[in-house]
A = this chain, B = another copy of it.
Amino acid sequence: MTDDQRSGCPINLTLEVVGDKWSLLIIRDMMFGNRRHFRELLTKSEEGISSNILADRLKTLLDADIITREDDPSHKQKGIYSLTEQGIELLPVLAQMAAWGYQYLPVSEELGIRARLLSEGGPKMWSEFMDELRETHLGIARRKKGPTVGERLQAACESVVNRT
């Protein structure tokens, strides 16, 4: 892995790290789906990532300090992947992409509702959600209590799915 960067442009450097078809989806699943294990990321992925690609991307994200890995005490082989502060700070990027996709692409209803809420909530909601991620992934207690943004998004998603 040679670090031959193409330029010092911040957008380019960001793309060099997460500018592929899978990395941001993995991060999305860690954020919104709370997937923390290899198997969870592999099998519960909406898009069906294959195991070699997942292994490779997790390695890249570890190298880039976007996620960390620690052993799961309940199972000697299991690893728990967590987002770092740097990884959590990718939320605004994902949120903007979700908002753009929601507006211009043929998004499915059950997956679009999350994007709509997140978009309507704006930076304030993103910030609140990031605090929740800091609690889940970094063990930093969040300030605000009560129902979380994560729960609200999940509930909205399910209410669409269960509406027959």
Contacts and interface: CB of A to CB of B under 8 A. Distances in A.
A66 to B, nearest CB: 9
Contact of A21 (B15, B95, B102, B123): B15
B96 A93 contact: yes
Nearest to A105: B13
Interface in A55-103: 65, 86, 89-90, 92-103
A98 B11 contact: yes
Contacts of A101: 9-14
A17 to B, nearest CB: 7
A112 B10 CA distance: 6
Contacts of A115: 10-11
A16 interface: yes
B47 A14 contact: no
Contact of A47 (B12, B93, B100, B108): B12
Contacts of A139: none
Question: Which of A9, A86, A96, A112: most chain B CB closer than 10 A?
Answer: A9
Given A10-B101, A13-B105, 12 more contacts: A6-B46, A6-B47, A8-B106, A8-B110, A8-B112, A10-B107, A13-B107, A14-B105, A19-B24, A89-B103, A92-B96, A92-B100
6 contacts: A10-B101, A14-B100, A17-B105, A89-B104, A92-B96, A95-B96
